[in-house]
Structure 1
Amino acid sequence: MTGIDLNAITAIDVHTHVHRSVSAPPREGSEADDMGAYFGIGSMPQYTVPELAAYYRERTMAAVVFGVDSISQTGDEMVPTNEEVADQAAEHADVLIPFASIDPARGAAGVRQARKLIEEHGVRGFKFHPQTQGFFPNDRSAYPLYEVIAEHQLVALFHTGQTGVGAGTRGGGGIRLKYANPMHIDDVAVDFPDMPIILAHPSFPWQDEALAVATHKPQVYIDLSGWSPKYFPPQLVQYTNSLLQDKVLFGSDFPVITPERWIKDFDGLSIKEHVRPKVMKDNAARLLGLGG
């Protein structure tokens, strides 16, 4: 196993999804089709961890990889498992950084699983999706999970804003947008002041709330995934160039948006030249403790 050589990569994508296990064929069903339709890409591709590693290695990039555990809402176990994601990412440690995902509704069992994933499988952070997991991030039932993450000085990444999951389907597929307002995460940042937090995505319709939390709380960052940069609201670009230049992170949300498309559109923004390398690599490298 080797580590990431920062001199050998051009960017760190902090938001990519693993949708397929190496031991199973692509999943069939409407979710991939619905997500693909929302992002205008047809049926959404489903990558295994080794396939993601090859994809990013070809592009001289590193990537944070994870699945999403929403068992309380779907009744289904996550495929691939957190253990598969972490163990296979370790085999491709030159380009991949494993995060895990645990539905807070798992309770004490989830807390035990989180500790084992950290101590035995080397995960570097945790992804939460309040909408698909059906919880407010400041619900005290989730705090035992945060305590384990904070104890190990790892990152908690929260989906914020609208989601493509369920978009355009009857009743939005049961997804309730209210859970993903960044102001709920402000409470978490107060109660766990030393735990790094990433607010994922431009947080439509709560962009100003996200900017407020990130400027007010030292350990709160923003990733720019899930949107083409050409659609970024002006205030997000303004803060990226100024107050948040050390706290904004490149993320694509691959496979729904490719890093090539994202970077092409980002190149069209009026981003200061000294800020671009911070967004693309330097901020994430520092946050994730990569390099010397």
Structure 2
Amino acid sequence: MTMALNEDIVAIDVHTHVLASVSQVSGEDEVEHSEAMAKYFKTDMVRPTVHDLATTYRELNMMCVAFTVDTSWATGEEPAVSNDELCDLAAEHPDVIIPFGTVDPHGGRRAAREVRRLAERGVRGFKFHPSSQQFYANDRDVYPIYEAIEETSTIALFHSGHTGAGAGRPGGGGIRLKYANPMYADDVAVDFPELRIILAHPSFPWQDEALSVALHKPYVYIDLSGWSPKYFPPNLVQYARTLLKRKMLFGTDYPVITPERWMKDFERLGYDEDVTRLIMRDNAAALLGLEA
């Protein structure tokens, strides 16, 4: 399915979360999680539906990749928004919303079938959160899922590095940071050489590892979401300006960080117009196969 890129679009945010359904009331655990994230990021965090995302980003002349995360194996809770709801509502906003799916990485071939089904529905990629979903990216049991993603020419987006999820809660809310080392995704890039991979976020405390993987593997990209650019480490700022300027992608982690706040802090880094356009729009458009 081909999506068009309107010439008025100024940016493509490759990392936004759908946190609320239009038809179901959010559970207590979901609300508690959002409140904890809001406290951690010192923000009045909203719980957007797909419609809310479309309204927010349309007003900004932006497109956004939207997804949820299936942590059912680890938590026993189903995602707040189903893949089908996300697809149905995204189809109402093709000028703004780029749908990504989510599958349980412990789901094996059942999850691989879901990947193929969702790809037929127009999903452009799949979001994984190793720390929340409790798996290593290079676990061979997950490989049938990657095989399906590679076959359908969709994208695997992996959370990497530190996370606000569970931060400050007893035991970190059960979240283990070790799963999110980007070097595990390097194995995936080797074993699935045509698979397009996005490493989400500045990968603290493994930033050098993430830069190395993206520099070494031709289909590995980095999104810059989840951190205000004023906190980007110097090595990330430098590689985004030079050797990896065609591998960096604008992302916010909305609603954790708003596009307005992210862009205000990004401007202070002093990138030239050509690099800024690559990061904000053109790199993502090429990766996602958007036609101008």
Q: CA RMSD in A?
A: 1.3
User: CA–CA distance in 2 between the matches of 1:270 and 1:261?
Assistant: 16
User: Pairwise mapping of residues 279-290 of structure 1 onto structure 2 (< 5 A)?
Assistant: 279-290=279-290
Partner of 1:33: 35
Secondary structure of the structure 2 residue equivalent to 1:275: helix
User: Pairwise mapping of residues 107-256 of structure 1 onto structure 2 (< 5 A)?
Assistant: 107-119=108-120, 121-256=121-256
Aligned residue type for 2:193? P
Partner of 1:82: 83
Aligned residue type for 2:286? R
User: CA–CA distance in 2 between the matches of 1:4 and 1:193?
Assistant: 27
Partner of 2:67: 66
CA displacement 1:132-158 (0-9 Å, x = unmatched): 100000000110000000001111100
Aligned residue type for 1:219? Y
CA displacement 1:19-48 (0-9 Å, x = unmatched): 001002344442111100110014x31011
Preserved CA contact (<8 Å) 2:18 2:49: yes
Question: What's the offset of the Cα at 1:191?
Answer: 0.5
Question: What's the offset of the Cα at 1:192?
Answer: 0.7
CA displacement 1:181-229 (0-9 Å, x = unmatched): 0000000000111111000000000000000000000000000000000
Q: Work out the percentage of aligned pairs sharing the same amino acid.
A: 60
Question: What's the offset of the Cα at 1:272?
Answer: 2.6
User: CA–CA distance in 2 between the matches of 1:146 and 1:207?
Assistant: 24
Question: What's the offset of the Cα at 1:160?
Answer: 0.1
Secondary structure of the structure 1 residue equivalent to 2:274: coil
Question: What's the offset of the Cα at 1:81?
Answer: 0.2
Secondary structure of the structure 1 residue equivalent to 2:273: coil
Secondary structure of the structure 2 residue equivalent to 1:6: coil
User: CA–CA distance in 1 between the matches of 2:63 and 2:12?
Assistant: 5
Preserved CA contact (<8 Å) 1:199 1:210: yes
Secondary structure of the structure 2 residue equivalent to 1:41: coil
Preserved CA contact (<8 Å) 1:237 1:271: no
Aligned residue type for 2:77? D
Question: What's the offset of the Cα at 1:176?
Answer: 0.3
Structure 1 residues 147 and 272 mapped into 2: Cα distance closer, same or farther (>3 Å)? same
Question: What's the offset of the Cα at 1:57?
Answer: 0.4
CA displacement 1:71-105 (0-9 Å, x = unmatched): 01110111210111112111100111000011111
Preserved CA contact (<8 Å) 1:183 1:213: yes
Partner of 2:259: 259
Preserved CA contact (<8 Å) 1:20 1:27: no
User: CA–CA distance in 1 between the matches of 2:26 and 2:75?
Assistant: 18
Segments of 5+ residues of structure 1 without an aligned counterpart are: none
Question: What's the offset of the Cα at 1:51?
Answer: 1.1
Question: What's the offset of the Cα at 1:273?
Answer: 2.5
Preserved CA contact (<8 Å) 1:70 1:78: yes
Structure 1 residues 55 and 4 mapped into 2: Cα distance closer, same or farther (>3 Å)? farther
Preserved CA contact (<8 Å) 1:2 1:93: no
Secondary structure of the structure 1 residue equivalent to 2:7: helix
Question: What's the offset of the Cα at 1:6?
Answer: 3.3
The normalised TM-score by structure 2 is 0.97
User: CA–CA distance in 2 between the matches of 1:65 and 1:165?
Assistant: 18
Preserved CA contact (<8 Å) 1:70 1:103: yes
Preserved CA contact (<8 Å) 1:20 1:46: yes
User: CA–CA distance in 2 between the matches of 1:285 and 1:18?
Assistant: 21
Secondary structure of the structure 1 residue equivalent to 2:16: strand
Aligned residue type for 1:41? T
Segments of 5+ residues of structure 2 without an aligned counterpart are: none
Preserved CA contact (<8 Å) 2:6 2:95: no
Aligned residue type for 2:66? V
User: CA–CA distance in 1 between the matches of 2:145 and 2:25?
Assistant: 32
The number of residues matched between the two structures is: 290
User: CA–CA distance in 2 between the matches of 1:2 and 1:210?
Assistant: 30
User: CA–CA distance in 2 between the matches of 1:77 and 1:30?
Assistant: 15
User: CA–CA distance in 2 between the matches of 1:96 and 1:2?
Assistant: 13
